[in-house]
Structure 1
Amino acid sequence: MDIAQSLTTTPNTIKCIEMHTTGEPTRIIYAGFPPLTGPTLLSQRAHAEKEYDHIRKRIMLEPRGHYDMYGAILIQNTELVRSGEAHIGVLFTHNGGISTMCGHATISLGRFLVDTRDENVFPKRGELVLDEESLTVGVRLHAPCGVVDVTVPVMQSADGMKSDPARNVAFISTPAYAAAVGVRVSVPEEVRWGELGGRKSITVDVSYGGAFFALVDVRELGFKEGLKKVDLERMTQVVGKLKGYLETHPDIVRACQHPEDERLSFLYSVMVVDSQVGVNPGGVDGVETGLCFFADDEIDRSPTGSCVTARMALAYAKGERAVGQRWAYHSVVSSHFQTGAFVGEIVETGLRIEGENGPARDAVVVRVEGSAYYTGASSFVVEEGDVTGHAGFTMKSVTQ
């Protein structure tokens, strides 16, 4: 047995498929993550956070990953899988923990779940049904925020049906809503940055698209050149300070109370928006660009599918979008390559989200589409005595 075969068959090997969506990685962990206990996906998420966070770090951070790595752990057994409402569950991972929703990873997962034939990886793979007219397959994915319906285009191959990378994957969001519109936030002196000039406050919107996003116009932050030519290092410094402040700001905390579950009730990201930048991909009524900061100052390379959902819901609440109106959303990466924009479209209105954790909300359902590609496969092990690589690290963590 050579060394490559030895490493892939070592006990406790973590096996992954590597993909990207507009440059944003999705490391799909399909085998080797310890079994999670709990009657619900959210309780399994809590188990992973409490007992196996060192393994999350091992997979995401150096030396196996990097600061901006993103992952998806497949969970074969959840309450909604058992009830038949979903085909499979997932936990989304990043440099700071486990998120509640991720659009770019959902797009990647749609392709992988159609393409895999391994029933140990995807026990309900045989339940997927081909729509012969549209040549698509539907996958119901149980994310921490709820069930996400994914539509995957397919084509015939020598060994049967497989995903078609030439056509976009689409997903239907869980209900999304504008949580707070036009919040005037005073910025204390210790948080302010030079680009603000003499201003002491900014205007922020908060919207929910499976996670909570604070949305702010790039010029509201004082960056007059917008996102067409942005000093990324400087923007990261500014948004890092701002995000930490917003996470504890009473008005933002109040806006981020999900009616149904306190475990969904936290500010996930700050999205910096520029409505003056973006190449129109065609077939849409408008285009804009965003720069998404989430987790521990992680930057999304993709247009951020869950925030596309949140931005569409916010625009609808403001009277800026109509049902069926298609809008393109770029990241700075897709703007650079002039390809890879996500397209959002409101497909349903009149929903009501109610619960005991917060005020009831009027919600919409959004369809988001985009493309993902395979980049490789990985098998990760830990050799005895490997202190550096046991739980992973960042350069930030070892220099502070």
Structure 2
Amino acid sequence: MDLAQKFDKASDALKCIDMHTTGEPTRIIYSGFPQLHGTLLEQRDQAKTKYDNIRKRIMLEPRGHFDMYGAIMITDTELVQSGEAHIGTLFTHNGGFSTMCGHATIALGRFLVDTHDLSVFPKRDELKVDPKTQTVDVNIHAPCGLIRVTVPTTIDGRESDPSRPVTFVSTPAYAAAIRLTIPIPPEKQWAELEGRDSITLDIAYGGAFYALIDAKELGFSGLSKIDLSSIGNVVKGLKAYLEAQPDVIQALQHPEDQRLSFLYSIMVVDQGIGSRPPGAAGAETGLCFFAENSVDRSPTGSCVTARMALAHAKGLRPSDQIWAYNSLVSNRFDTGAFTATIVEEGILLRGDNGPDRQAVLVRVEGKAYYTGALTFIVEKDDVTSESGFTMGECSG
């Protein structure tokens, strides 16, 4: 038996496609993850409680790394059954399972058009090409709700066109807290703060909750030249502190579901710099620390949605205005910025878990590319890689 046959016949084989969006990886797990049951949020709960070792196996070393990101394909959800979605997904990272991810959505959209394996994507044949725009619409059910994705294609619609951007419209986004002042007691202060006893930040929702803080508010000059280790240490301590603040906890209550009500990320922003693609009215840059202080290489699509909603709430971003959002990577290569536009406003979010919210819909666009295909197995007695590890766990 050759190695390829050994991998294919392994009972615990996990099959993946690797892609990147502005340098941020998406490992698409299309076969081998245990079958889950119930609503998508219930399936997310099952994945967290029963199969977290498999998440670690896929994301962490030796198969992945601390900043790996993944999308697990889920063929059966309540929105797939109702016909609203073509497929579901669970987003995963170094710390668990998130509720929304823009960069992974862009990558997943291309893959769903390119695959024609009905055992992988049973509803692939339901996708219809628009001959005028040469695009295909794909509806993806994420834990935050329905994501409407538009993928550029070849004329016959059988393959995605990597030369044109993928676009998506996520669930309604809103500003949860504007100019929130957070006291920083002496024992929580850091050197760059230079003795200031508070910081000001915003909180916004774009499928997940983000605390948005200007780099200068943290005591750094900006994001044009930054010590990632220094700012990363500041953000790591700050996130844990913010999660315990009553005003922050109140802002994080999503009207519809408690399971969406957590602080996913801190986005450090610099509105003074940013690669500006044609057609954009302006540009800015963000440095996103998410999950267990992972650094997003991309401009962070779900946070772009949140930032557009926040800017709109502040009166800074009218509907139909195109704005560009950058990461350190897109600035470095002068390509890969995400652009965004508000396409609908005046949406009322209501529920039993939090106050009503005025929300908007945001269209985000960006490009993703393939990097490889993999099959992962675990050999007998391989304790080291069965659940994966991080070097931080080994050195602590």
**TM-score tier after normalising by the smaller chain length:** over 0.9
Offset, 1:8: 2.7
Offset, 1:9: 2.5
Q: What is the CA deviation profile of residues 243-265 of structure 1, one whole-angstrom value per residue up to 9, with x for unaligned ones?
A: 11111111111100000000000
Aligned residue among 293, 300, 315 for 1:297? 293
Query: How far apart, CA to CA, are the structure 1 residues paired with 2:232 and 2:106?
Result: 26
Q: Is the 8 A contact 2:189 2:195 kept in 1?
A: no
Residue 179, structure 1, aligned to residue 176, structure 2: yes
In the alignment, what sits opposite 2:61?
Answer: 62
Q: What is the CA deviation profile of residues 118-160 of structure 1, one whole-angstrom value per residue up to 9, with x for unaligned ones?
A: 0011000010011110000000000000000000000147xx7
In the alignment, what sits opposite 1:50?
Answer: 49
Q: What is the CA deviation profile of residues 256-295 of structure 1, one whole-angstrom value per residue up to 9, with x for unaligned ones?
A: 0000000000000000000011121111100000000000
One-letter identity of the residue aligned with 2:166 = V
Residue 199, structure 1, aligned to residue 216, structure 2: no
Query: How far apart, CA to CA, are the structure 2 residues paired with 1:362 and 1:325?
Result: 19
Question: What is the percentage of aligned positions where both structures have the same residue?
Answer: 64
Offset, 1:326: 0.3
Query: How far apart, CA to CA, are the structure 2 residues paired with 1:318 and 1:74?
Result: 37
One-letter identity of the residue aligned with 1:167 = R
Query: How far apart, CA to CA, are the structure 2 residues paired with 1:173 and 1:2?
Result: 44
Offset, 1:26: 0.2
Q: State the secondary structure of the residue aligned to 1:284.
A: coil
In the alignment, what sits opposite 1:30?
Answer: 30
Aligned residue among 339, 346, 352 for 1:350? 346
In the alignment, what sits opposite 2:11?
Answer: 11
Q: What is the CA deviation profile of residues 200-236 of structure 1, one whole-angstrom value per residue up to 9, with x for unaligned ones?
A: 1000100000000000000111102x10000011010
Query: How far apart, CA to CA, are the structure 1 residues paired with 2:95 and 2:11?
Result: 27
In the alignment, what sits opposite 1:139?
Answer: 138
In the alignment, what sits opposite 1:97?
Answer: 96
Q: State the secondary structure of the residue aligned to 2:287.
A: strand
Query: How far apart, CA to CA, are the structure 2 residues paired with 1:336 and 1:80?
Result: 40
Query: How far apart, CA to CA, are the structure 2 residues paired with 1:280 and 1:78?
Result: 39
Tell me which stretches of 4 or more aligned residues in structure 1 moved more than 4 Å.
none
Q: State the secondary structure of the residue aligned to 1:118.
A: coil
Q: State the secondary structure of the residue aligned to 1:155.
A: coil
Give aligned pairs, total. 396
- Pairing of 1:1-400 with structure 2 (within 5 A): 1-38=1-38, 40-156=39-155, 161-224=158-221, 226-400=222-396
Q: Is the 8 A contact 2:190 2:234 kept in 1?
A: yes
Moved more, 56-65 or 7-16: 7-16
The alignment yields a C-alpha RMSD, in angstroms, of 0.8
Query: How far apart, CA to CA, are the structure 1 residues paired with 2:227 and 2:12?
Result: 42
- Structure 2: stretches of 5+ with no match in the other structure: none
Q: What is the CA deviation profile of residues 22-77 of structure 1, one whole-angstrom value per residue up to 9, with x for unaligned ones?
A: 00000000000000122x10000000100000000000000000000000000000
Offset, 1:5: 2.7
- Structure 1: stretches of 5+ with no match in the other structure: none
Q: State the secondary structure of the residue aligned to 1:113.
A: helix
One-letter identity of the residue aligned with 1:19 = M
One-letter identity of the residue aligned with 1:98 = F
Q: Is the 8 A contact 2:131 2:155 kept in 1?
A: no
Query: How far apart, CA to CA, are the structure 2 residues paired with 1:174 and 1:127?
Result: 22
Q: State the secondary structure of the residue aligned to 1:324.
A: coil
One-letter identity of the residue aligned with 2:30 = Y
Q: What is the CA deviation profile of residues 165-201 of structure 1, one whole-angstrom value per residue up to 9, with x for unaligned ones?
A: 0000000111000000000000122221111112110
Q: State the secondary structure of the residue aligned to 1:219.
A: helix
Using the size of structure 1 for normalisation, the TM-score is 0.98
Using the size of structure 2 for normalisation, the TM-score is 0.99
One-letter identity of the residue aligned with 1:182 = R
Query: How far apart, CA to CA, are the structure 1 residues paired with 2:12 and 2:347?
Result: 45
Query: How far apart, CA to CA, are the structure 1 residues paired with 2:122 and 2:142?
Result: 17
> Structure 1 residues 316, 96: closer, same or farther in 2, change over 3 A?
same
Q: Is the 8 A contact 2:134 2:155 kept in 1?
A: no
Offset, 1:399: 1.2
